Amino acid sequence: MKFRGLDSNGDWQYGQGLGSYAQNADEIALDIATRCRSWYGNCFFDPQAGIDWPHRLEKDQQANLVQELTKIINATVGVVRVNAIVARTDPRTRACSITVSVQTIFSKSFQMEMAAISAQPPISTPIIPST
């Protein structure tokens, strides 16, 4: 598996040859983050993939959210097991931040945090050329 590294803005890194790609546990972390940030029904080749974020950020959905996250992370290539998941939701803004600890095939346990997943889907803004 190969994952292009991401910069601080979440954009793909280019220009460093193989150095632009994440390796080992870092590529597993990128895969986990990408899969957890995916919206249910938003992937054209796998419409069943992703999290139903608008419903999981509703009141009393914390257990269902953690269950869905655990299922997705355990199915990620390179993950041996999920050690812990903490999902913190803000009922006022309906945003979520997730801390995950996993054991990987590299005999390494690592912790990662994914912040500010919002209940509003990403919107593509069309670029309108000026005349």
Q: Which class would CATH give 20-118?
A: alpha beta
Q: What is the pTM of this model?
A: 0.76
Q: What is the mean pLDDT of the chain?
A: 79
Q: In angstroms, what CA-CA distances link 1 with 11, 22, 25, 43, 75? A: 19, 10, 11, 19, 14
Report the pLDDT value the prediction gives residue 115, as an integer from 0 to 100. 63
Digit-coded pLDDT (tens) for 35-49: 888 888 888 888 888
Mean pLDDT, to the nearest integer, of 20-32? 80
The string of pLDDT tens digits covering residues 59-93 is: 888 899 999 999 999 999 999 999 999 888 877 77
